[in-house]
Amino acid sequence: MPINDELIGRRLGVVETSWTSRDTRLYALAVGASGADPEQELQFTTENSAGITQRVLPTFGVIDGGRVGVGGLLRELDDVDLSRMLHGAQEVEQHQELPASAEAVTSGRVTAVWDKGKAAVIETESVTSDAVSGERYVTCRQTLFFRGYGGWGGERGPGAGTPVPEAELDRTLKTTTRLDQALLYRLTGDANPLHSDPAYARGAGFPRPILHGMCVYGVVGRLLLNEFADGDPAAFHSLRGRFSAPTYPGDDLVVSVSGRGPEHRFVVDNQRGERILSDGCFVIG
């Protein structure tokens, strides 16, 4: 169906999914775990290290959440040019710690559609639950921009959120993404050629393939979890942020964050001083 107000409330299906210990370890590697020191973060990257129980990065929840919240939406839309779609914002809320492997069910729905004139904005929500007990693992909320698909006369919707006060940002975390980071992250299931095919990326207006926004999101979530929760996934409540500019493989991620919790506001810049993630908030449960 076309992008307009009639999408609001649309159910995006119920999908039976599963993940394995290998899937969760691959995700951890794809968002940089153990990259700086292969003897660290072994609880996320190995399943058989002495005295270490495998655990799962909470942002892994966006994998199944995105399959329904993004993939399910695209199946509902008519002839959308994927090169015109941008992931605008993301939130993941954890209800209980994710197991290393599981059988799960993910459902989704469209929660809002906004007409920005030259673009359309669609917000979706997806919930991943245990297939046996029905207990929720995570809720994911996605905001997607579709360039060139606005102008049908719908409501414009809310403006940008309140900027994070720079004076509150008293701590800095930094990491460098790998040159092959996008090729590694696409193994988690997002094979959009925008992140791997130079010709496709140029056709979409980028000089070269860009890094998945959800990869950047996962890297930042991992840094914040290690900094403020000693790497304990059970302490994670939620993470949200708005994507402001593209990131390229090899870019630095400089996270400026408030050290005062339990709600840690943050922004992320690259080595060129460009803001790539704004309106960030990491909450410890």
Q: Which residues are catalytic?
A: 190, 195
Contact 15, 68 (CB under 8 A): yes
Q: Count Cα atoms within 13 angstroms, Cβ side, for 125.
A: 8
- For residue 156, which phi and psi values (nearest 5 degrees)? -75, -30
Contact 206, 246 (CB under 8 A): yes
Report the C-alpha gap between 219 and 96 in whole angstroms: 21
Report the C-alpha gap between 154 and 175 in whole angstroms: 41
- For residue 141, which phi and psi values (nearest 5 degrees)? -125, 120
3-state secondary structure of 233: helix
Contact 224, 173 (CB under 8 A): yes
Report the C-alpha gap between 110 and 1 in whole angstroms: 13
- For residue 24, which phi and psi values (nearest 5 degrees)? -70, -30
Contact 108, 124 (CB under 8 A): yes
Closest CA to 169 of 268, 283, 273, 276: 268
Burial of 214 (0-12, 13-18, 19+ CB in 10 A): buried
Closest CA to 224 of 172, 138, 282: 282
Give residues with Cβ within 8 angstroms of 70, minimum separation 6: 87, 124, 142, 144
